[in-house]
Amino acid sequence: MQGQMQAQPLLISTLLTHAERHHGSQEVVSRRVEGDIHRTTYAELASRSRQLAKALAALGVQTGTRVGTIAWNGYRHLELYYAVSGSGAVLHTLNPRLHADQVVWIADHAQDHVLCFDKTFLPLVEAVASRLATVKHFVLMADREHMPTQTAIPNLLCYEDLVSSQNDAYTWPQFDESSASSLCYTSGTTGHPKGVLYSHRSTVLHTFASALPDALNLSARDVVLPVVPMFHVNAWGLPYSACMVGAKLVLPGPGLDGASLYELFEAEGVTVSAGVPTVWQGLLGHVQSKGLRFSTMTRTIIGGSACPPAMLDTFEDTYGVQVIHAWGMTELSPIGTVGILKGHQQALPKADQRAIQSKQGRGVYGIDMKIVDAEGAELPWDGKVSGELMVRGHWVVNQYLKGDTSPLVDGWFPTGDVATIDADGFMQITDRAKDVIKSGGEWIGSIDLENIAMAHPAVAMAACIAAKHAKWDERPLLVVMKKPGAEVSKEELLAFYDGKIAKWWTPDDVVFVDSMPLGATGKMLKHRLRDLYQDHLQAQPACAPGTPVSA
């Protein structure tokens, strides 16, 4: 017996149509590559997206055609989000921080037919254009005035010319909601990148879940500034959720330094932002050094990697900005868990609340999760036992693009994270499966050790890696980048662990570095550190401070 309600597909175009009809005068503000601030509205954005959809069709873009972008967060990129997916083609956002060879490999693997890019990335595209075998059209996201007079790219098209070549008389097509809408490649640390192919259905359901009060809590009263790039897992879905709820969008373009961000936060009345910890470090550094305050920002979503507790304290105690810790993956569209307190936790002492907020959060409706032992048996939710985190749900990957073997285990996606889950459902990542330090047969979680180091006033960034050890197989080695002008000795840092963890977890040694290797999405590349320092302890004296004592 079938229900008798209206059957309509869940399509990305309906998010834009809703914003246009119900929030047509709401603003979308962008800091452009050109340097100025650009203002538009959802009504205008919708109209231009329809023009763009027609222009792309004229370039041969059809249902399923991949359209690549290499672009900052800005209104033109947003128009591409809707014009490409809305018309039934597939938006492929490329990460400009990747090596040129990787860009070529990914664009070729995706078989991009068109490549649209910001002027910032003209040198990159010029360098690779001749190697992009499938790309038939290159589009510079600029107006005629900003087109280069000379370029190595043949027949370089002007974005604004394309838009203005069409009127906006276009009706978004209706099609199967399981159709592919967009494509992101994971920045795998080993092997080739893997493509995750989202559908309209997975995207709209993710949008619903991500906007809920216990997730990103988005409304028409919000002014949202996604620092997280639109080339990185669809900026955590904010280009979609902002349209669903009619929030004002502020897109920072290339201005991701603390001063540029702060200026935009204040000028546009930003209420909520989202990004990785490294970005917030830059912002907080600017705000602290100038003695500034946030006058409208009420909360910030921190994900991508764990938020150091010290950063959480600074945001909340010094600046009154609520930190919403979230966890996700490219394979999860990306949102899996969000760290909002439950009702009964609101009465807890602040320190206990902070401890909960430091976890990665609880599962949003639509995501199932479990932790399993090495044999795949489910482990209890007691907040103590850790195991590999497995997830499944409407917006979890089923298969990678052109994948041959399923990444799933009994229908669950193995995240590669090692985590605990407590009785309230709060998940805490204790390590990446590959970053766990196995000392004398016992696991030591590197993240705890890093967080403690990060709480030291002289430490800017810290990584804890497994170094080879003759007796214990592996022992923790702390790699530290100091804050500019700050001083701290190895002995002081190791003593800083006293009383905070089991004695045998204390790192065996400290290596000071001038810079940390960061990946394309701002995450620390710990495998690079391992390559450099995994033999470090082999050359050490046998009884350095912190040598493990048997349990």
**Residue indicated by tokens 């009619």:** 246
3 state DSSP class of 364: coil
Does 3 participate in binding a copy of itself (rule CB under 8 A)? yes
CB atoms within 10 A of CB 7: 7
Between CA 536 and CA 131 the distance in angstroms is 41
User: Which residue of the set 17, 134, 151, 186 is catalytic?
Assistant: 186
In the complex, least distance from residue 22 CB atom to a copy of itself, rounded to whole angstroms? 4
Which residue, 140 or 216, has its beta carbon nearer to a copy of itself? 216
| CA distances from residue 191 to 105, 139, 187 in whole angstroms, order as listed | 12, 30, 10
> In Å, how far from its chain's centre is CA 196?
14
Among 104, 244, 465, 537, binds a copy of itself (CB under 8 A): 244
- Over the window 339 to 368, marking each residue x when it contacts a copy of itself by CB under 8 A and - when it does not, the resulting string is -xxxx--x---------------xx-x--x
* Residues 395-414 within binding reach of a copy of itself (CB under 8 A): 395-401, 403, 411, 413
Between CA 90 and CA 424 the distance in angstroms is 39
Which residue, 51 or 333, has its beta carbon nearer to a copy of itself? 333
Only one of the segments 5-13, 281-289, 444-452, 461-469 lies at the binding site for a copy of itself (rule: CB under 8 A); that segment is: 5-13
DSSP code, position 229? -
* Residues 375-394 within binding reach of a copy of itself (CB under 8 A): 392-394
Active site residue 438: yes
Among 16, 23, 435, 479, binds a copy of itself (CB under 8 A): 23
Q: Are 226 and 274 in contact (CB under 8 A)?
A: yes
Strand partners, 481: 461
* Residues 128-187 within binding reach of a copy of itself (CB under 8 A): 176, 178-181
CB atoms within 10 A of CB 315: 22
Active site residue 443: yes
Which residue, 205 or 488, has its beta carbon nearer to a copy of itself? 205
Q: Nearest 5°: phi and psi at 129? A: -50, -45
Token digits of residue 324: 């919403």
Does 484 participate in binding a copy of itself (rule CB under 8 A)? no
Which residue, 341 or 544, has its beta carbon nearer to a copy of itself? 341
Between CA 3 and CA 1 the distance in angstroms is 7
Q: Are 161 and 136 in contact (CB under 8 A)?
A: no
- Over the window 411 to 450, marking each residue x when it contacts a copy of itself by CB under 8 A and - when it does not, the resulting string is x-x---------xxx-------------------------
* Residues 278-337 within binding reach of a copy of itself (CB under 8 A): 333
In the complex, least distance from residue 413 CB atom to a copy of itself, rounded to whole angstroms? 8
In the complex, least distance from residue 196 CB atom to a copy of itself, rounded to whole angstroms? 7
Which residue, 8 or 149, has its beta carbon nearer to a copy of itself? 8
Beta strands 248-251 and 272-275 are unpaired
Which residue, 245 or 389, has its beta carbon nearer to a copy of itself? 245
Between CA 182 and CA 158 the distance in angstroms is 23
Between CA 406 and CA 339 the distance in angstroms is 30
Does 21 participate in binding a copy of itself (rule CB under 8 A)? yes
- What is the widest separation between alpha-carbon atoms in the chain? 76
Active site residue 186: yes
Burial class for 463, CB neighbours closer than 10 Å (0-12, 13-18, 19+): buried
* Radius of gyration over every alpha carbon of the chain, rounded to an integer in angstroms: 24
* Residues 193-232 within binding reach of a copy of itself (CB under 8 A): 196-202, 205, 208-209, 211-214, 217-223
Closest to 309 in 3D by CA, of 151, 454, 466: 454
Does 459 participate in binding a copy of itself (rule CB under 8 A)? no
Q: Are 86 and 172 in contact (CB under 8 A)?
A: yes
Which residue, 112 or 448, has its beta carbon nearer to a copy of itself? 112
In the complex, least distance from residue 388 CB atom to a copy of itself, rounded to whole angstroms? 18
Which residue, 179 or 446, has its beta carbon nearer to a copy of itself? 179
In the complex, least distance from residue 429 CB atom to a copy of itself, rounded to whole angstroms? 17
User: Which residue of the set 342, 384, 438, 471 is catalytic?
Assistant: 438
Active site residue 415: no
Q: Nearest 5°: phi and psi at 201? A: -60, -50
* Residues 35-94 within binding reach of a copy of itself (CB under 8 A): 63-64, 90
Catalytic residues: 186, 331, 438, 443
